[in-house]
Structures are given as C-alpha cells and as structure tokens.
Amino acid sequence: MPDVDQNQAQASLTPAAAEGAVLVEAKDLAIQFGGLRAVDGMSLSLHRGEMLGLIGPNGAGKTTLFNLIAGNLRPTEGRILIGGRDVSAEGADQRIACGVGRTFQIPRPFSEMTVLENVLTGRQDQAGERIWMNFLQGARVAREERQAVGKARALLDFVTLSHLENEPARVLSGGQRKLLELARILMAEPTAILLDEPAAGVNPTLLEVIIERIRRLNADGKSIFLIEHNMEMVARLCSRVVVMAAGRHLTEGTPRDVARDPAVIEAYLGTAA
Amino acid sequence: MSVELIAYGCFFLTVALTYAIMCLGLNLQWGQTGLFNVGIAGFVAIGAYVSALLTTPDTAGRLGGFGLPMAVGWLGGALAAALVSYLVGRLTIRLRADYLAIATFGIAAAVQLCALNLEPVTGGPFGIGFIPRPFAAEAGNPLLFSLLNLALLVIVVLLLYLGLERLVRSPWGRVLRAIREDETAALALGKSATRFRLQAFAIGGGIMGLAGAAQAHFIGFIAPENYLPMLTFQVWAMLIVGGSGNNRGAILGAVLVWGIWAVSAALIAAVFDPAQQARAASLQIAIIGVAICAVLLLRPQGILGEIRTISRHLPSRAGKAQTAESRPE
C-alpha cells in the first residue's frame, strides 16, 4: 500500500454520503477481452453527494470499470443503473443526459480548438447544434451562445485557466489539460463526475488546486467518483474507498481502514511480500 | 481585350466554380468533420444524372426526361445526392477512416458503372445530351451568355459559402470539429458522433450533387466517363492546395488547380504533335501531382490554411488567429 503512514489526515465524512440515495449502481459487472476478464463480477454504488474513491494496483480494472460505467464499453455481464434506470445498453453519448460525466486518465482535449471552445463544447441542449436553428432562429442561438460564453469563462476562472482562453488546447501542460477537462465536463452540469486519476503527472502546486476544486464541487452537491493512486489525496477527499484487485471488489471502507487491511496490502505487494 | 478572351475567361471561371462547389462539399466532410470521402465522383454523377433526367425533354427509349424547370433539376440533383449520401452514411459512417474511403470509392465505381450500363435510365455510354442550359436564349451573344452563366455560378457559390460559414461557426460546426479531434471525448460530452457525422456527410454529398447538376447544365451534355476517379482526385487536389478546413481555401484551390489543369492542357496541345497528344495528356495528372507535392512540402496547411474557426457569436479577436501548423492527420 503506498504512503500509508502519510495518510493520517482524517477522512472527512461528508454528511450527505451516509444516507444519500444511490445515484449510480453497478451490479455484477463483467467484461471479457479475449481470455481476460478485466472486470469480473464487480458491484458498487455511488451515493448522491458522496465522494467515493476507487483504488487498486495497476491492472486491477479500475479504468475499465470507469469505461463501463461511462458507457464507453458494453458489459459482457451485469447491469449499470443510473438513478434506478438500467442504462447498460446505452452509448457513452447518452450518459451526460443521465447526469453522469467523466474525465480521462490521459486527458483528451480538442487540441486545435481554443481552451474556451473546448469548454463551450460541453454545453448541453444548444439550439445552435441543430442545423436549421442557425438559419431560422439566429437570435436565439446567439443569445444562448452569449450565456454559454459567460458560464464557460466562469468555469475557466474556477479552474484557473482564464488567461489561456484563446490559446489552442494543445499548448496546455498535462496538469492544465486535466483542469480543462474538468471545466469542460462541468459545463455539461453533471450531478455525478467520474474522475480518472486527476492527480497523475500533476505538479504539487497544481495538485493543490485540483484537490481544492474537487472538494468545492463536492461541497456544492456534486457526487464524485475518483480513481486515484495518490493515497494521500484519496484520504483527504474521500469518505469511502472501494478497493479493486484482479477485476473484483476486494473490500471497501474508510481510507484509513482500507489502508490497514491486510488483504489490500497483499493485493498491492503480492503474496511474496 | 478581345470579346473571345473575356468569354473564355468567363467560361473558365464558371467551370472552376462548379469544382469550387464540389470542393466546398468535401471541405465540410473532410475539412470540418474528418470524413475521408474518395467517392466524390459518384455523388457528383448522381446530381448530374438526376437533374438531367428531370429537366431534359421526353426522350424515346430512355426514362424521362420530364422537362421540368432547371431549378427543380438542380434541387432534385442535390437532394438525390444528399439522400444517397445519407443512406451510404447509415451503412458506413461508423467505419474507420480508411474503411470509409474504401467504401466510398466502391460506391463511386458502382454509380459510374450504373451510369454506363443502365441505358434505359442514363443513356448508357452515350450519356444524356440536350440538357437545358441556363440563359440559352442569350446563346447568340457569347459574351453576354458567358457573363450571365458566370454570374449565376458566382451567386450559387456565394450563397453556399455564406451558408456554410454560418454553419461551421455555429455550435453545430464546433461539435463537428470536436468529433474530428477526439470522438471519445465528444461522446463523453453527450455529442452523438454518428448523428453529426451523418449530417455532415449528407450535406456534403448534397453539395457535390448540386455541383454535378450545375456542371451538367453548363456543359449541356453528360456521359459516364466524366465521373471517373480522376474527378475525385482533382477535387482532393483542389482542397489540399487551397487549404483544408477553410471554405475560402476550397474555392481558391478549385480555381487554381483548374487553372493549372486548363493551362497544362493548352500547353500540351501546343507542344506535342496530334499523334502524341492522347498520351501526353497524362502529363496533366503528373503536373497536378507535382503541385500537390509542392504544396504539401512548402505549405502543408494549403495556401490559405485552416482558420481557427470560433463561434461567430464570440468577439472577433479570437477568430482571427490562423493555425500555424497543419493538423496531425
């Protein structure tokens, strides 16, 4: 288990987490890639308002689980429920309509588009995305676009990227790309956000910004589901942690309990250790 | 300047503008959306044949013609090509870029073979003649006739340009570019890549069909050999030279490449004796190929290059910056 000793920071139990209704539920999820079952009978639930962590050694199937929940992969077995509705058969483009947004482990900015345009793309239900509206209802499209720009600028301010709004996204550093991706998905106003390693490859200063922003989002009522290798960050942010190993649900609990669990230590270090 | 020279200039520009229309259609598909269509000739042919069938007078031994007004023909040609594009798109749009290319190439070949062999509909190898020409009443005055034709094409190209600019600078255009850059990320933002791609593919195909109709009426005669893969190659050359992702580049590229094509044809006719000219005509293709290589080496983004297209609803300062590099595609 990495950095267990440094994780003395108290896990801040958000009050909403304890009784919050189930928002996203995975039931016996499995996916088979050839001979490999990357996710093998995994069940978990994300509660409304909760900040849930997902940890596990490399190759445990964390990102694959995210891809299943986000609709990028179809499960071989099991179901995904969002707000009680079975969305297992729906595509990734329909998740945001259910209120679930995601970021990527390796950020995927629209490189040649400006930072501001990247964020604007996150806007949902724009009249201007329908061809005819641009000719028949130009004024409405323009009005919505002005509102969108205002909101996008506020979000860029939130993630400290305002000064770069007219730069193409390709000039951003790795950490800035993660922040841009966060602003972009926030533009879509999800109720739950799946964050895939938001701290990976981010310098310490920017990391503090990211941690603080995630905390604020959660305080504002967003449910957060976080994959992270940085245990200190998980301990600071999450009230509950699910541990995955070899595609399965190993255990779950508070960050402190999980960090002490012999089964977890064994999963990270192997039986020989 | 002699009347003949001006008339020829108009003729040259009119033909170039019909290619500019095709190029605008391709720019929407490739330049904005990243759809690799190598079946342009097929969609152009559909527009040309449908318009010809709709507008030519009743002909013995062939379907139609229906003798409808020319505007109906142009619109019908565009709609037919858009419909076929839509249907083809439904089947192929999920294919990866290289497979889409193979599929569209095959479709163009099928269309061309249909034109060649469906004699009761298309006139077979003899094609369709007596396609009504715009302003035919003025044909006695070559200068006026060619000026009016040029004016018509300028208006069509201008309207298309303005309409397309409005679209690519709208949230719709932004989604197209987002999908082009990263489909997975666009999906995560709730954008249905399939729907937007299909729309762009169908509109682009419809525009190519319109170009086919315009060209058929301007020349007055169509035959299957007009719609060989060479046409697709020419239109691609025009877009690459002018600047993919830029509607003005598409128009400029069409005029320039058509200029190179026309001048090289004249040169070959002047330099080679008649017995060698048929073979020497291949040099035209070689010259276009060299032009593409030169542009790709010296200015890979094309002469105008892609403008960083921003929403037209934003302050213009953001929209003026040009991308320095070409897209990594």
Model confidence at B325, pLDDT cuts 50, 70, 90, reads: very low
User: Is residue B39 within 8 Å of residue B176, measured between CB atoms?
Assistant: no
Q: Report pLDDT digits (tens) over A37-77.
A: 899 999 999 999 999 999 988 888 999 999 999 999 999 99
- Residues making up chain B, counted from first to last: 329
Give A-chain residues touching B177 at CB under 8 angstroms: 110, 112-113
Report whether B106 contacts B113 (CB < 8 A).
Answer: no
Over the stretch B144-166, which tens digit does the pLDDT of each residue have? 999 999 999 999 999 999 999 99
Residues above pLDDT 90, as percent of chain B: 62
Q: Yes or no: say if A124 and A175 are a contact pair by the CB < 8 Å rule.
A: no
Residue B34: partners with Cβ closer than 8 Å, 6 or more residues away: B97, B179, B180, B329
**Which residues of chain A have a CB within 8 Å of the CB of B31?**
none
Question: Is residue B99 pLDDT above 80, yes or no?
Answer: yes
Measured CA to CA, the distance from residue A44 to residue A39 in angstroms comes to 12
| DSSP structure string for A108-130 | ---TTSBHHHHHHTT--S-GGGS
Q: Identify from A137, A166, A180, A182 which residue to disrupt to test chain B contact, counting B C-beta atoms within 10 A and taking the largest count.
A: A166
Give the minimum alpha-carbon distance from A18 to chain B in angstroms, rounded to a whole number. Answer: 29
The whole-angstrom separation of Cα B305 and Cα B320 is 12
Scan residues 188-207 of A and list those with Cβ closer than 8 Å to B. 188
Task: List pLDDT tens digits, range B197-248.
Answer: 999 999 999 999 999 999 999 999 999 999 999 999 999 999 999 999 899 9
User: Looking at residue B328, what is its pLDDT?
Assistant: 38
Predicted confidence (pLDDT) at residue B321 exceeds the cutoff of 60: no
Sign, Cα dihedral of A157, A160, A163, A165? negative
As a whole number, the mean pLDDT across chain B is 89
End-to-end CA distance of chain A: 11
pLDDT(B94) > 80: no
What domain count does chain B have? 1
Task: Give the SS3 label for residue A86.
Answer: strand
d(CA A90, CA A100): 13
* B186–A188 CB contact, under 8 Å: no
Residue A168 to residue B323, Cβ atoms within 8 A: yes
**Shortest Cα distance from A98 to chain B (angstroms)?**
10
Q: Which residue has the tokens 């003899």?
A: B126
User: Sorting pLDDT into bands at 50, 70 and 90, what band is B140?
Assistant: confident
CATH number of the domain that residue B127 is part of: 1.10.3470
CB contact under 8 A, A70 and B188: yes
Query: pLDDT tens digits, chain A, 273 residues: what are they?
Result: 444 343 333 333 444 444 469 999 999 999 999 888 899 999 999 999 999 999 988 888 999 999 999 999 999 999 999 998 999 999 999 999 999 999 999 999 999 999 999 999 999 999 999 999 999 999 999 999 999 999 999 999 999 999 999 999 999 988 899 999 999 999 999 999 999 998 887 888 888 888 999 999 999 999 999 998 888 889 999 999 999 998 999 999 999 898 888 888 888 877 544
Q: CATH fold of A21-109+188-272, please? A: Rossmann fold (3.40.50)
User: In A, residues 235-254, which contact B (CB 8 Å cutoff)?
Assistant: none
Q: What is the pLDDT of residues A106-144, one digit of tens each?
A: 999 999 999 999 999 999 999 999 999 999 999 999 999
Q: State how far the alpha carbon of B201 is from the alpha carbons of A267, B32, B276, in Å.
A: 50, 11, 41
Work out the minimum CA distance from A259 to partner chain B, whole angstroms: 32
Q: What is the pLDDT of residue B269?
A: 86
Residue of B nearest to A145 (CA): B313
Do B189 and A120 count as a contact with CB atoms less than 8 A apart? Answer: no
What does the DSSP assignment read for A13-77?
--HHHHHPPEEEEEEEEEEEETTEEEEEEEEEEEETT-EEEEE-STTSSHHHHHHHHTTSS--SE
Task: Say which of A95, A121, A188 has its CB closest to residue B178.
Answer: A121
Closest partner residue to B187 (CB to CB) among A93, A146, A149 is A93
ipTM score assigned to the predicted complex = 0.87
CA distance B189 to A97: 9
Q: Is the per-residue pLDDT at B175 higher than 50? A: yes
What is the rounded CA–CA span in Å between residue A169 and residue A117? 9
Residue B22 belongs to what domain range?
A: 3-328
**Nearest CA to B78 among B48, B106, B108?**
B48
Cβ separation B167–A134 shorter than 8 A? yes
**pLDDT at position B327:** 39
Domain range list for chain A:
21-109+188-272, 111-171
Sheet holding A223-227, edge to edge: A100-102, A192-196, A223-227, A51-55, A240-245, A248-253
Sorted by sequence, the CB contacts under 8 Å of residue B39 that are 6+ apart come out as: B103, B104, B105, B106, B107, B108, B109, B111, B232
Q: What is the pLDDT of residue B305?
A: 79
- A residues 72-91 lying closer than 8 A (beta carbon) to B: 72, 91
